[in-house]
Structure 1
């Protein structure tokens, strides 16, 4: 009985007679194509050619808003409404959290009101004019750290913080404009999935840790078990012995986890046989976050009105946070003027650019920290855009790195002049945004993505309108929003290949998911790649969570790019890197080439014949 043997056909230099001799069972020696020969320059990352001065911006505009703006502004359906409400909840919670931290970090020069206003107007502006409306702008940890450093610098050189912050914003706008005009954003495209996954897992891990209770910060559900938690201290001062912190802690943890579970349960209905029809199931899935937040906020306030839990730290009115001790507004009331019985008013909305305390050289000095701020804008925006607008996410309307970096510099210039915080692209809200606008089949393959600007616009209009209803927002318990944070992290982590490969260490090899790298590569090579990625991730994670060096976080992220470009090719072959972090089209091409050179023949040799195999 004849064998059926897989044979790799000859290379391009071999004749048709050689192939025919293989089919007839001849023992003629044949040279076979290796995996490394299937795709020329496999695994190499090439830099796009530079565009002439200013043409990068012009081409970005033509490719995106010039072609798709009307289409993106007229897609209005149930999903548009549902995702808009979801993104409002997704954005408002971290906005208020960052606002509170900005207040303590900048002597209340920037606070919750300023952070809400910056988020609202910048989001609406980007929704209307940006080239990549799927990417959400917001406050991030690195921008907060940078602002804190600038605040300390302003005290060192003895100039008003808001004036110094405004001049730095002017310089960063100059840097971003020059970068966009000379098409320098193309360098960030050297990042591959290797860097994207490290950055994405870092941000997702921050959401999950902060929801549960991070060892590097004070917040999180499990932190309510600590009797010294700030929320307990505030309630004990107000209610005295009537307040029992364990009641508050247990209820907070329960409603937080219940909110997360409710969201997942409602989303699971979409693929279930329950309820009357698919329209109802789709509605439950689309509005899952909104419904869960309403359910658990109402249950807490109706069923447990006497048990106090932490509320959102919302200001009482729409006005600048900084309250002045005197008419010159040189001191903060009441902390810096205990002898003053009443405030003199609020700080002006616009920073006084000429209030330099007799030091005009500060205008030039500001160019130095502005360079660091620019690098932060460049990397935070660029890597997030590269992650979101990767071909693997199925987006069809093109990217606009130069145009959007220019817009980001412009918006942060306005924010600096108004004494508002800087905003950059935020990774997890971006992932949540695109994930909820994507239709997938039962195997998780992308069918289509509803690329539109309305979800971005409506959600940030709601953020702006929240300034008119600030007291009402206190009805939403903070633990419920922590439950939303936890959902955002857990629902995003499964999209990250780095995390899925890390889980392979704990799985039975015969049960591994079927992926191209598991099929064609040796498992120890896959694990080696994951270990190296873990080392880079650990470095970025530790720098980001060490306050004394946290400002170097963008540089650590940047170091991942040369690590992939120059270190990994010395360890892995090009085709291996292609399978591990290449784009889907390249991987499909490799698989097609691999299958096209594999011929199944019926050999006339016995089982003792030598078998040829590929690498």
Structure 2
């Protein structure tokens, strides 16, 4: 039996080995930052980001900059056009693909110059699309011109963004920890993977959907058309694109090719090479098989076409007997055109509250995920400043009849990972923090308006393969996913992490089960169209669950190992290592080193 704490060996008392809970007082507790009221947070954000690092971020041009810019162009343009088609359907062509391209291009370029966190990619999201659909239905029911109502909601949204930034209310979203970040990230990643393969909930085109003989891509085809042939080629193109990207990226750590520069080039341009190769396969080798291509508008002009000069009816749907359109809608909304209802500017303040909440949460949670300490991003946060910018950008979009844009999670993760250098375990060692990749990629989005016919050459299955890569490649960086895999692994073969080393596996699994429960709630709400618009609010509820529920189930040190940042985890491990070493030294009767440290 080991000696008791009051035994004496070599004239010294044996130290008591402290419990895990005693190592770090108040471990696992989450505290709110001190508020920076009256615009102080905006000024601080501006000074510590744009004011400090702008020149470096605008001049660190290298090969990786070019490769990541091309990757992000492919990553951004496809969902931009896909959301454009969805907006066109949901708003009866009041907003369409041209509007989403223009909005994405100008905001991306502007944000790359003046934004505070340029690693975060701006784009369209499902919740914002769902809410815009609600606004459109409201405008029809109230007999108000949509563009007018949309513009006034944008005005109020800017006011709310200013107030929230001015009084530093973004500090509430900074209460989020890995628990909330992982749930949100895994939700977005799962959406990308499901939609790339084939979404059973929303009917969005995926790699497997052409196997349905009634799929829309098979309609109005020749008698010799073979839908199974098209579907099989789509599967080869889609999964082939994903496989080739991963295969080319694997060369970075291989022994093949003659230099690190060559291997890095293949890794950096893997997505571009894969898209080009499989597009050539489709258009040259299998040119007789009519695989679906990207849905691209024919010319650059507002999507809404008018039956008359007043532009009150949509051509040709509302005037089928009319041979030609009278024109297209104006780029600027007439905010005075309320159809005789003077209360519209005030009434818009109500729905703007929920619109702003979407803006606040979609942006805030994505920003928090990207700026997590484990990502080793050092150029500072800018929650208040960037929220104000987002309000300004979307105010302009509202006046122009363009879609509102927010930070998009998966493209942000892909952007971060593509600019990062990692160790063999996937931990981020360094990130090239630059504004150039967002600038160049969104400039390409803008220039694509001048080359719409070239975009039509991109096979849809190839782009779905890129989406699948984006989702799958993001999974290893989500601790929730790694802990979920532990359910299917032999305990003695668990990868060595702080929580697997020091915690009982049952406690780890309990934490993962709770996380699965909250993920399931958010996932279900997101896929029920009637309530999908409130899914960011459901994600926000994960924050009080972490601050108030989990501390009642887990000890503080367990929450540190499972949910803390790298500095909290390292502090606890250091205390644990020191306490064990001191205890073992006391058993040997050799505490001189620790006594010297205590007296200094």
* Structure 2 residue matching 1:100: 3-state secondary structure: helix
Residues 1:229 and 2:211 aligned together:
no
CA offsets 1:26-61 (integer angstroms, 9 cap, x no match): 8x7865422111112111110001113111000001
How far apart in 2 are the matches of 1:65 and 1:370?
29
CA distance in 2, matches of 1:208, 1:247: 24
Unpaired runs of at least 5, structure 1: 11-17, 606-615
Residue aligned with 1:447, SS: strand
Partner of 1:45: 30
Question: Which residue of 244, 254, 258 maps to 1:262?
Answer: 244
Query: How do 1:105-144 and structure 2 match up within 5 A?
Result: 105-144=90-129
* 1:244 Cα deviation after fit: 1.2
Conserved 8 A contact 1:23-1:601: no
Contact conserved, 1:115 with 1:420, CA < 8 A, in 2?
Answer: yes
The ranges of structure 1 where at least 4 consecutive aligned residues each deviate by more than 6 angstroms after the TM superposition are none
Instruction: Give the direction of change, closer, same or farther, for the CA distance of 1:385–1:23 in structure 2 (3 Å limit).
Output: farther
2:193 corresponds to which residue?
A: 208
- The 1:357/1:583 distance shift into structure 2, 3 A limit, reads same
The answer for the alignment partner of 2:592 in structure 1 is none
Deviation at 1:601, TM superposition (A): 4.7
| TM-score where L is the length of structure 1 | 0.93
Q: How far, CA to CA, are the matches of 1:223 and 1:105 in structure 2?
A: 22
Question: How do residues 32-111 of structure 1 correspond to structure 2 at under 5 angstroms?
Answer: 32-111=17-96
Task: Tell me if structure 2 keeps the 8 A contact 1:205–1:489.
Answer: yes
In 2: Cα distance, 1:30 partner to 1:299 partner: 71
1:481-532 Cα offsets, whole Å, 9 max, x none, are: 0000000000001100001001100100000010111111111111000000
Alpha-carbon separation, structure 1, partners of 2:9 and 2:435: 58
- Taking only aligned residues, the RMSD between alpha carbons, in angstroms, comes to 1.7
Deviation at 1:551, TM superposition (A): 1.3
Q: Does 1:190 align with 2:143?
A: no
**3-state SS of the aligned residue for 1:305?**
coil
Change (3 A) 1:25 1:537: farther
CA distance in 2, matches of 1:480, 1:296: 7
Corresponding position of 2:138? 153
**What TM-score comes out, normalization by structure 2 length?**
0.95
1:511 aligns with 2:497: no
CA deviation string 1:342-371 (max 9, x = no partner) = 111111101111110000101111001100
Shift in Å at residue 603 of structure 1? 5.6
Report the equivalent of 1:611. none
Query: Is the CA contact (8 Å cut-off) linking 1:263 and 1:289 kept in structure 2?
Result: yes
The residue that corresponds to 1:310 in the other structure is 292
User: Among residues 591, 606, 611, which one is paired with 2:573 in the alignment?
Assistant: 591
Query: Unaligned 5+ residue runs, structure 2?
Result: 590-600
1:374 aligns with 2:356: yes
Whether the 8 Å contact between 2:8 and 2:14 is mirrored in structure 1 is no
Query: What secondary structure, in the 3-state scheme, does the structure 1 residue paired with 2:85 have?
Result: helix
Correspondences of 1:434-445 after superposition (within 5 Å) = 434-445=416-427
- Residue 285 of structure 1: aligned partner: 267
Deviations 1:370-411 (A, max 9, x none): 000000010110000000001100101010000000000000
Q: Distance in 2 between matches of 1:602 and 1:31?
A: 9
Give the number of equivalent residue pairs.
586
User: Which residue is equivalent to 1:478?
Assistant: 460
Aligned partner of residue 528 in structure 1, secondary structure: helix
Out of 515, 522, 528, which is 1:546 matched to? Answer: 528
C-alpha contact (below 8 Å) 2:248/2:266 kept by paired residues:
yes
Residue 22 and residue 491 in structure 1: after superposition, are their counterparts in 2 closer, same or farther (change >3 A)?
Answer: farther
Which of 505, 518, 534 aligns to 1:536? It is 518
- Mean CA deviation greater in 444-453 or 29-38: 29-38
